[in-house]
Structure 1
Amino acid sequence: MGNRRNFIKRTAIAGAALAATPSFGFNILKNNLPKDEIIGHGDFRYKVIKDWAKMSVGHNPILNCHEMQMDSKGRLIMLGDHTDNNILVFDKSGKLLDYWGTRYPGGHGLTLHDEGGEDMLYIVDCGWFQDRTGKWKKQAGTVSKTTIDGRLLFMLPDPHTIGLYKKEQEYLPTETAVGPTGDIYVADGYGSDFILQFSPQGEFIRKWGGHDNSDENYNLSNAHGVAVDYRDKTNPVLVITSRATNSFKFFTLQGKYIKTVNLPGAYVCRPVLDDSNIYSGVCWSENEAGQRFGDSGFVTILDAENKVVSNPGGKAPQYKNGKLQKMYQAEIPTFNHGHDVFVDEDKNLYVCQWNAHHTPPIKLERV
């Protein structure tokens, strides 16, 4: 399998080799962009605030910033994969309030759920981790339920131990979502691409997806994210990422296929629902010349009809005869592999980045 980077490249580009491209280093990303840079399109435009997080990465080291949520106290909770401090807790000004967590070397997916007025966290360790020499390794993934301060309540079972997976099928989960009745949905996005549904107590209910179905609608390729879509309050559904096919797939809460929303050119991460919109980090992208930058990615925003309305950090979306055309990276990247987006009550965005030279999240202030 090689290392984690090679694995992710294969799943993201479906076996195609990376084109020879210029590599824009962090100094260019940080210093060559104009002050108060504005990115985005239409009604979704933002000022880039790269120095939002007021912290020392020397004291609180970061490998990758994977995902972010906000708790009931208005604190921003960020999950990363450095075991000196898996969890970083910020206020909205970017001040670091707290940090904890040493047991998640592959810290990747973070879901916050209000359970009877108490915040709970669902933390996914995808199994890929860097050892002290910087070499990527992997082990079985895990899904843990904890209190807001990290006290472990229970772990979901490995699907091998309850007869759901064959020995050769890998379990490397990437994300969770919690449904309206408390059921827990797990996306095995770096493993076998199944969606696993558990009861609130962690009892297995069903699985679907994978990539060997006769009905291609049920096939997933790099099922990186899962979220519950409550935009139709009478009929919540699941939105599941199929990143290698540049798409979101919609399913009922029981796993029945509904539809696919294609996002050509965008290797999207998890879907993030806010009001009538879907937001997503785009982890890889190309420019219009077909070049893939060393540091690439942007944010994409869909409206209530699942039409792309803005690509902060990318080219403006274009539709021809109602069909979305391939989306492209801006010539000078703003982001290093956008991995997650959090939307606050003022509609500002906080972008977590993968492989971003050990840097904290970037804030996009709505203008």
Structure 2
Amino acid sequence: MTTMGSGDFTYEPVDDWAKLPPGWSFKEIGGIGVDSHDNVYVFNRGEHPMIVLDRDGNFLRSWGEGIFPRAHGVFVAPDETLWLTDDADHTVRQCTTEGKILLTLGTPGKPAPYMSGDPFHRCTHTAMSPQGDLYVSDGYGNARVHKYAPDGRPLLSWGGPGTDPGEFNIPHNITCDADGWVYVADRENHRVQVFDADGKYETQWNNLHRPSGLFMPPGKCPVCYVGEIGPVAAVNRNVPNLGPRVSILDHTGKRLSRIGGIGPGLGPDQFLSPHGLCVDRHGDIYVGEVSWTNWPQTFPNQPRPDNLRSLRKFRKTT
């Protein structure tokens, strides 16, 4: 058995974990979440956008067909509603675990003007403060974070394109801690920026390569799991030790552990593009990858293999 990680964060990969109905496929996974019962919500870009599995990978149900053109982000709120971000639809939808839509932010199919700062243009993910306020990272066609009241009322926005503190180059993911601080995966600036609840810049975490996925378990001083999708430009595509990988940091940004090989691939210790991730009550890590999109970028002269995978589970062993 392959063992990955170090110290208190050591894992073994669980092969062939997900058991889908015959003929079904995730194609690729934008986001992934887990509820208090360790049911796993796989927000994917296949024919069935939301596929729900139990902790053992058994299929429970699916929903979202015809609603979500391009799954991107999942946040499971304390009340166990799901906040789902669709970057092609330019919306954030609050749904029940059975798929009933409770609230929609944004206008379906109608983006705000490119880099206008108005919500949304290809929004990417959501997070929630301890008070229930919602934060949305926005995204591919904007460089902003928007804050909403629990009822969906807009409160404030911050950010703009650039590399200075408080500016973004693809704010790709977002999470909050128990003190209400906001962490933004500033993907193409190779950093995670940290803000207070009102968008005041506090600090940043460096030594990351294209951070894409973020997950913080609830509680004081949590660790942060960061999916780094690694290089894609031809000039550094084959440089080792840049990812893709999952790094585990403490709440100050100090690295505690890391899983992943020295480069991309289909090996048990390798990733292609860890785009979204979450952790269950047992400490097991679930990673969703955008493998279908990533493969021709990473391996431009090779056809996509039949065993191209998009969902990984890693069982915590320490």
TM-score (ref. length: structure 2)? 0.82
Following superposition, the deviation at residue 228 of structure 1 comes to 0.5
Aligned match of 1:153 in 77, 102, 105? Answer: 102
Point out where structure 1 has 5 or more consecutive residues left out of the alignment.
Answer: 1-35, 128-139, 316-327
DSSP-derived class of the 2:171 partner:
coil
Q: Residue 67 in 1 paired to residue 10 in 2?
A: no
- The aligned runs of 1:116-155 (5 Å cut-off) are 119-127=80-88, 140-155=89-104
Q: How far apart are the structure 2 equivalents of 1:51 and 1:143?
A: 31
Q: How far apart are the structure 1 equivalents of 2:112 and 2:270?
A: 44
Count of equivalent residues:
294
Aligned match of 1:221 in 169, 173, 189? Answer: 169
Q: Residue 342 in 1 paired to residue 278 in 2?
A: yes
Aligned match of 2:224 in 267, 275, 278? Answer: 278
Q: Residue 92 in 1 paired to residue 37 in 2?
A: no
DSSP-derived class of the 2:291 partner:
coil
Aligned match of 2:128 in 170, 178, 187? Answer: 178
What amino acid does structure 2 have at the position aligned with 1:313? G
Following superposition, the deviation at residue 60 of structure 1 comes to 2.3
Q: How far apart are the structure 2 equivalents of 1:88 and 1:313?
A: 26
What amino acid does structure 1 have at the position aligned with 2:133? D
CA contact (8 A) 1:65 1:79 kept: yes
RMSD (Å) for aligned C-alpha atoms: 3.1
- The aligned runs of 1:157-236 (5 Å cut-off) are 157-158=106-107, 166=116, 171-211=121-161, 216-230=164-178, 235-236=179-180
Q: Residue 39 in 1 paired to residue 22 in 2?
A: no
Residue deviations 1:338-366, cap 9 Å, x none?
A: 11221112211111111256635111111
Q: How far apart are the structure 2 equivalents of 1:169 and 1:154?
A: 16
Q: Identity of paired residues, percent?
A: 24
Following superposition, the deviation at residue 269 of structure 1 comes to 1.3
Following superposition, the deviation at residue 164 of structure 1 comes to 11
Q: How far apart are the structure 1 equivalents of 2:136 and 2:180?
A: 17
Q: How far apart are the structure 1 equivalents of 2:49 and 2:308?
A: 13
Q: How far apart are the structure 1 equivalents of 2:266 and 2:16?
A: 22
Point out where structure 2 has 5 or more consecutive residues left out of the alignment.
Answer: 293-306
CA contact (8 A) 1:158 1:171 kept: no
Which of the pair has more CA radius of gyration?
1
TM-score (ref. length: structure 1)? 0.72
Residue deviations 1:88-140, cap 9 Å, x none?
A: 1111111111111111111111111133xxx211111111xxxxxxxxxxxx5
